[in-house]
Homo-oligomer: A and B are copies of this chain.
Amino acid sequence: MKCRRCEEQAVVEVRHAHAAYCPTCFVERCREQVSRAIGEHRMIRSGEKVLVAVSGGKDSLAVWDLLLDLGYPADGVYLGLGIGGYSDRSGDCARAFAERRGATLIEIDLASEVGFTIPQAANTRRMPCSACGLAKRHLLNKTALDHGYDVLVTGHNLDDEVAVLFGNTLQWNMPYLARQRPALPESSGFARRVKPLVRLTERETAAYCVIRRIDYIVEECPMASGNRHLLYKELLNTLEERDPGAKATFLNGFADRVAPLLDDLAAQERDSVGTCSRCGSPTTAEVCAFCRLRDQATRPPRRRKKRRRDRSVHAEESPVTGGESRRP
């Protein structure tokens, strides 16, 4: 195969675009796709302070690298979740990248800063990924606001977005569908949150890291097995293989024809937000879900209620666990 752009030997095939690229043109293409996503959804404006949520995985390191190369002076934030060796190794990848690029990395260690780890939080009535997603959304938003950042960037790629949309559609979770967008505007108590990788697939971000020699953590989180998000990705991959283009049709059709119908619902949800009586974070309840999670996770073992793993979806829980923002 030859590169679509320069006719050199191609190394990466981008099937959904019916094209293949050499390393240089592929990296160039990734930059263009990110630039285009940022422009289309007005994700970052000139002079804004940008914070990237960095897990040490391929997507978050790729988006950080791409933003830096596109001239955005982006800092990173890494949450130490306390998931044993997995957390150690992912932290190492995040730190090594920051050092190599001479970029600032803020580190938040859950155990010392909020008094519990994700394995402890998972020991509550929540599914592990649900507890983790809630803690991450809360702490990333808080860090962005506390440090005066305008925009919080996450590494969600096209496959993540499609899987989250798929999960929320299978349950017709209207409030979650209403806020499924590549860019969520800032609102009272929330930094703007944006997903510049929304035009790139998982395969593309992995190829980008390989070509750019970015060392990322390859292993899946050991607590994520059985996660419904992974099942959705598997089903969607089977669909895409048998009906190429199906993922993009699904995601783009939603953005074009359904999201506009849900604008009113999104606005209603935004208007219903108050502040947590304990920590001041935005919430629709008296005490926010994060404070309640902390209560449960730090309760002495004897008083802890038996953990249930039912499939019912609670108002503030994530039916899908891809780290999707849960804010109105």
Q: A residues bordering B, Cβ < 8 Å?
A: 169-172, 174, 228, 231, 235, 238-239, 242-243, 245-246, 249-250, 253-254, 256-258, 261, 311
Supply 5 A–B pairs (Cβ within 8 Å), ascending by A: A170-B246, A171-B249, A172-B253, A172-B254, A243-B311
Smallest Cβ distance from A67 to chain B, in angstroms?
Answer: 31
Of B171, B231, B261, which contacts A253 at CB under 8 A?
A: B171
CB distance from A311 to the nearest CB of B (A): 7
The A interface is mostly helix, strand or loop, or mixed, namely helix
Structural contact, B231 and A172, CB atoms closer than 8 A: no
Set of chain B residues within 8 Å of A170, measured between Cβ atoms: 239, 246, 249-250
Query: Which residues of B have CB within 8 Å of A238?
Result: 235, 238
Given contacts A243-B311, A245-B311, A311-B245, contact A172 B235 (CB under 8 A): no
A-B complex: 9 closest residue pairs judged by Cβ atoms = A172-B253, A170-B250, A172-B257, A235-B235, A231-B242, A174-B257, A172-B254, A172-B258, A171-B249
Closest to A262 in B: B261
Shortest CB–CB separation between residue A101 and chain B, in angstroms?
40
A169-B169, A249-B170, A261-B261 known; A228+B254 contact, CB < 8 A: no
Q: Please tell me if the beta carbons of B257 and A231 are within 8 angstroms of each other in the complex.
A: no
Complex-state Cα separation, A243 to B249, whole angstroms: 25
**A246: chain B residues within 8 A (beta carbon):** 170
Instruction: Collect the chain B residues with CB atoms within 8 Å of residue A174's CB.
Output: 257
| Cα of A170 to Cα of B174 in the assembled complex, Å | 16
Whether A250 pairs with B311 at a CB distance below 8 angstroms is no
Tell me the smallest distance from the CB of A178 to a CB of chain B, in Å.
Answer: 12
What is the CB-to-nearest-CB distance from A124 to chain B, in angstroms, rounded to a whole number? 22
Chain B residue at smallest Cβ distance from A257: B172
Shortest A105–chain B CB gap in Å is: 38
CA distance A254 to B235 in the complex (A): 20
Q: Which residues of B contact A253 (CB under 8 A)?
A: 171-172
Cα separation A169 to B165 with both chains bound (whole Å): 11
Decide yes or no: A243 and B228 within 8 Å by CB, A169-B169, A171-B250 being known contacts. yes
A245 to B264, CA, bound (A): 30
Closest CB-CB distance, A129 to chain B, in whole Å? 14
Measured in the bound complex, the distance between the Cα atoms of B175 and A253 in whole Å is 13
For the complex, give the distance between the alpha carbons of A172 and B174 in Å.
Answer: 15
- Closest CB of chain B to A158's CB: distance in Å? 15
